[in-house]
């Protein structure tokens, strides 16, 4: 399989700049997921890797070969689209075999690859069916099987689960995870806006925003040590609670004042020059617990309770009146609207960001 290197990749449509200098290295056998909000450029970047979009400037290398001008058919890449793009008049077998027939592969080789891919994806008993006789999840597996049959250097997935309902999405995500295990030496690049897919599938996640890479790292690295406010709020569901604050005393332990003038100590180091500067304090909903002793980060009145069975979601009017705090408690919690509670979190679970949104946490 292949490695992929992107050097200062830029994309513009006339005066509209879409990608602003992407630098990224993907190793052989990695499963890398591009995530970000709609319009961030993740699908455009994927299409540039596939050769479906021209590179405005920069260099792209696959296995050390510069491929800027190499046509899609010569890049050794197979792509699975958001829409299944199956031929409705062809059987599953013929859909999976079509690309190899066009490439002039022998009949025996085509049959071997189709049946091997069908075995991996549990499609053996559907090979004679037309796409209309399949479920959405089965059709997506056929599209993946067609890509496998091409024996590509790199697999590209462009939001392949977005057209499926919730149950099928989970089932197909599990199938893709199993496929990744079975094809451990295969390089895969996967685009999604669904962070659950990203967190469960990726070796590394690339977080994009407005055409720029915000952070690259392992899923839990991004969750525990976000580089900035954007990543902190994008990774995690519900999003991290962010409260405006001011640094009143810098040091190895930083003391900050919240909007209601309450002062709390955050065990994150800051320089003395940061004293008096604006900051943002962050804590994830699932890291908050009800404080039973004296120590507490803040207190507030519960304005809404969502009892979901596995978790209980609390929306609390906290230090910033216009910004409720979200608290995610495990299981069923006997808490009612209107209760006034105090909340705390483990020191290592707290986050602090400077006025530009950059994390102080190393």
Query: Rounded to an integer, what distance in angstroms lies between the CA atom of residue 362 and that of residue 360?
Result: 6
State both tokens at 150.
């091409």
Written as one string, the DSSP assignment of 204-252 is EEEEEETTEEEEEE-HHHHHHS-SBHHHHHHSSSSPPEEEEEEEEE-SS
The H or E element containing residue 80 is: strand 77-80
Interval 120-154: pLDDT, tens: 888 889 999 999 998 888 888 898 888 888 888 88
Task: Find tokens 């491929």 and name the residue.
Answer: 67
Q: Are 316 and 341 in contact (CB under 8 A)?
A: yes
Torsion angle, CA of 225/230/231/232, rounded to 10 degrees?
50
List of domains in the chain: 4-234 (3.40.50.300), 241-353 (2.40.50.140)
Query: Rounded to an integer, what distance in angstroms lies between the CA atom of residue 127 and that of residue 15?
Result: 48
Q: Rounded mean pLDDT of the chain?
A: 90
pLDDT of residue 91: 93
58-65 mean pLDDT: 93
pLDDT > 90: percent of the chain = 61
Distances in whole angstroms, Cα of residue 273 to Cα of each of 210, 321, 354:
31, 30, 12
Q: Are 199 and 223 in contact (CB under 8 A)?
A: yes
pLDDT above 80 (res 294): no
């Amino acid at each position: 399989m292949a490695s992929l290197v992107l050097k200062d990749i830029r994309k513009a449509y006339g005066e509209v700049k879409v990608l602003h200098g992407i630098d990224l290295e993907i190793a052989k056998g990695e499963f890398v997921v591009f995530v970000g909000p709609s319009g961030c450029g993740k699908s455009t970047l994927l299409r540039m890797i596939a050769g479906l979009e021209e590179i405005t400037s920069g260099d792209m290398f696959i296995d050390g070969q510069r491929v800027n001008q190499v046509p899609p058919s010569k890049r050794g890449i197979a792509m699975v689209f958001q829409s299944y793009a199956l031929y409705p008049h062809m059987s599953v077998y013929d859909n999976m075999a079509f690309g190899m027939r066009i490439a002039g592969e022998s009949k025996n080789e085509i049959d071997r690859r189709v049946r091997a891919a069908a075995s991996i994806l549990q499609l053996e008993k559907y090979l004679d069916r037309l796409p209309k006789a399949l479920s959405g999840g089965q059709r997506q597996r056929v599209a993946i099987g067609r890509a496998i049959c091409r024996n590509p250097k790199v697999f590209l997935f462009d939001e392949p689960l977005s057209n499926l309902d919730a149950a099928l999405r989970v089932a197909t995500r599990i199938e893709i995870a199993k496929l990744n295990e079975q094809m451990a030496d295969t390089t895969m690049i996967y685009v999604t806006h669904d962070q659950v897919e990203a967190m469960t599938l990726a070796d590394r996640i690339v977080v994009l925003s407005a055409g720029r890479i915000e952070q690259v790292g392992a899923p839990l690295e991004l969750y525990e040590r976000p580089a900035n406010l954007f990543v902190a709020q994008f990774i995690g569901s519900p999003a991290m609670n962010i409260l405006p604050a001011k640094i009143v005393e810098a040091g190895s332990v930083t003391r900050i004042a919240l909007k209601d003038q309450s002062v709390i100590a955050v065990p994150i180091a800051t320089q003395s020059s940061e004293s008096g500067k604006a900051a943002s304090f962050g804590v994830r909903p699932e890291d908050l617990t009800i404080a039973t002793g004296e120590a507490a980060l803040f207190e507030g009145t519960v304005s809404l309770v969502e009892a979901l069975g596995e978790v209980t979601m609390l929306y609390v009017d906290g230090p910033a009146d216009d910004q409720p705090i979200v608290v995610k408690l495990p299981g069923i919690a006997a808490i009612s609207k209107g209760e006034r509670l105090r909340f705390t979190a483990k020191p290592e679970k707290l986050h602090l960001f400077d006025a530009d949104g950059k994390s102080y946490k190393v």
